[in-house]
Amino acid sequence: MNLDDPDLDSLTSSVRGMYSYLNRSGFSSEATELARYFNDTNAWIGEITKVLRKSKGIAYVVVGSNSNRGRRINIPLAIQEIARTNGLSSRVYMRYRIKNYYMQYPTKGSRISYETVLKLELAG
């Protein structure tokens, strides 16, 4: 993960809302980690975009939601927003219930119960 200050201008609206909530609540280090995570997400989606431009292909991304300080982070939505800013269209291909959720971290608190498969392709 990047140790520099995160690029807040590149955050999507849903991520910016969670970032602001954490910052206002006094959890600035967690807010920074969240922003860095989504800066990194933007970078790997950018790499997927480069490949799809060359191949005219389709990418599938499997992702689950998460929570921070009791608030849900809709990671599939955030990835769809990031994909859109990178010139990709996206849709939920499928969702499925996780049967063995005890493999997740952390072991305390709420766990994700569904994973989402997103289908990404060039927009247009």
Element (H, E) at 14: helix 13-24
On whether the CB atoms of residues 71 and 21 are closer than 8 A, the answer is yes
Domain boundaries, position 81: 8-122
Residues with Cβ within 8 Å of 78's Cβ and at least 6 positions away in sequence, in order, are 12, 14, 15, 38, 41
Distance between CA atoms of residues 97 and 27, nearest Å: 31
Mean pLDDT of the chain: 87
Whether 3 maps to a domain, the answer reads no
Is pLDDT of 20 > 70?
yes
Q: Does 7 have pLDDT greater than 80?
A: yes
What is the number of other CB atoms lying within 10 angstroms of the CB of residue 35?
23
Which residues fall within 8 angstroms of residue 14, CB to CB, at 6 or more apart?
74, 77, 78, 81
Model pLDDT for residues 34-88, shown as the tens digit of each residue: 999 999 999 999 999 999 999 999 999 999 877 777 778 889 999 999 999 999 9
Residue 101 in any domain: the answer is: yes
Which pLDDT does position 78 carry in this prediction?
A: 94
Question: What is the domain count for the chain?
Answer: 1
Do the domain assignments include residue 2?
Answer: no
Q: How many CA atoms lie within 13 A of 25 on its CB side?
A: 15
pLDDT tier for residue 109 given thresholds of 50, 70 and 90: low
User: Rounded mean pLDDT of 88-101?
Assistant: 88
pTM score, whole prediction? 0.83
1 is a domain residue: no
